[in-house]
Chain A
Amino acid sequence: MRTIGALLLAGVLCAAATACADKAKAPRPLAQADAAQGLALIERHGCAACHAIPGVGWPKGRTGGDLAGVGARPMIAGRLPNQPAVMTAFVRDAPALLPDTGMPPMPLTDAEARDVAAYLYTLDDD
């Protein structure tokens, strides 16, 4: 729960700090993250089994949300602020943030999770 609190707080602070800026401006920067590597990881781990993901030809999973435009959405899974730190934590261990989610933890390192998040932030065009 502490991690969740800290992340939510980080998200809120982040949102507050940039309250006057254009928050939806994308792609949001993730320092030292590699979006191309993120796409390779997404393919290797089969994220598309549950999500339709632009850039992945097959499959087009229906269990989780369609990720087209996810980078520009204000919320993750309708529940969490869409901020890079939250996204990075979510793709790696979603149940730690949302205990009733159907999305299992994924076998990613923190650096890999950042790459995946970086790719998701390139999907900012609905």
Chain B
Amino acid sequence: MLSGWPPPVLDPAGPFAGPVTTVAWVLFVMGAVVLTLVLFALGVALFGPRRWKRRVAGEKLVWIGGLALPVVVLSGLLVYGLSVTARVADAPRPGEMRVRVTGEMWWWRVAYLDDQGREIVQDANEVHIPAGRPVVLELESADVIHSVWIPRLGGKTDMIPGRRNFMRLQADEPGVYAGQCAEYCGGPHALMGLVVVAHSPADFAAWRLRQAAPAAASTLPGAAVFSSSGCGACHTIRGAEANGLAGPDLTHVGSRQTLGAGILPNNQGTMAGWIADSQGIKPGNRMPSYPVLSGQELREVAAYLDSLK
């Protein structure tokens, strides 16, 4: 989630966020200049000397300041804004890395695509990218309108049911970049966070291999608890008997930075808390709380999921 003060906005960390930030500042400064001029004219009209008042009255000022100036300034800003942001949102070019991110109530389904657009690996709530290289996110929605916003890497782009929007992003340096759903999508919308992890190219290749591998067979007692509690009806763990598609893929959940879609740190403790009472933490989300597990079972299943690195 976006947290901390100052919030991580207007602080670009890549070549697609830079122009968006510049546009934001230009719009802000132009707005400030226009506001100052209008307030000055208002002040003159109310309190200025008679001679000055005459100059802000009359039709001429209305035609120039009220019509010509806004048309020129706003048209200029529109052309400028569209030209700066055009290359952020066009379709993927050959050789560019593609990641499909699908907005769900209230999490993100992530799939890494090959050049033909076929899914190679599934994941959730985290997008891993190589630093220093543009990546195209193909944005879709499974239900309502969501919007992806990773302020340090780019502007906002909506996910619209039945449409595919594109968003190009690049992180200049390896690091973790917070994101957030920026279009109200009901219920726990405010708790729909996203994490982008930028790796050095070598680390990224290693991550991709790890991510593509299925989970190793586990002898931990929590694996049996996971299975007998029916978790596999909604969650997939590749390599285990769990192939549900309604919720996030958990094949490598233990290696994620966060739980609950970018809202909790990820460790055995938060995992246990999330499983026992996900409705208390994120009211209205689609995962039921599990008040049927004993303390020991809860710890076991949390330890099992934590082991899925």
Where the two chains meet, the residues of A that have a C-beta atom closer than 8 Å to any C-beta of B are 44-47, 49-50, 59-64, 95, 99-107
Contact = CB atoms under 8 A, between A and B. Distances in A.
A49 B281 contact: yes
Contacts of B295: 100-103
A95 B298 CA distance: 12
B267 interface: yes
B85 interface: no
B211 to A, nearest CB: 22
Contacts, number: 74
A3 to B, nearest CB: 18
B127 interface: no
Nearest to B298: A102
B256 to A, nearest CB: 13
Nearest to A44: B265
Contact of B299 (A59, A60, A104, A107): A104
Chain B contact residues: helix, strand, loop or mixed: helix
Contacts of B143: none
B264 A49 contact: yes
Interface in B256-297: 264-265, 267-274, 276-277, 280-281, 293-296
A61 B273 contact: yes
A49 B298 CA distance: 14
Given A49-B274, A50-B276, A102 B299 contact: yes
Interface of B: 264-265, 267-274, 276-277, 280-281, 293-296, 298-299, 302-303
8 contacts: A45-B269, A50-B277, A61-B281, A63-B276, A101-B299, A102-B295, A103-B272, A104-B302
B18 to A, nearest CB: 31
A94 to B, nearest CB: 9
Given A46-B264, A49-B281, A106 B269 contact: yes
B299 A63 contact: no
Contacts of A59: 264, 280-281
Contact of A103 (B293, B294, B299, B303): B299
A119 B235 CA distance: 37
Contacts of A95: 299
A48 to B, nearest CB: 8
B54 to A, nearest CB: 57
B10 to A, nearest CB: 25
A47 B269 contact: yes
A63 B296 contact: no
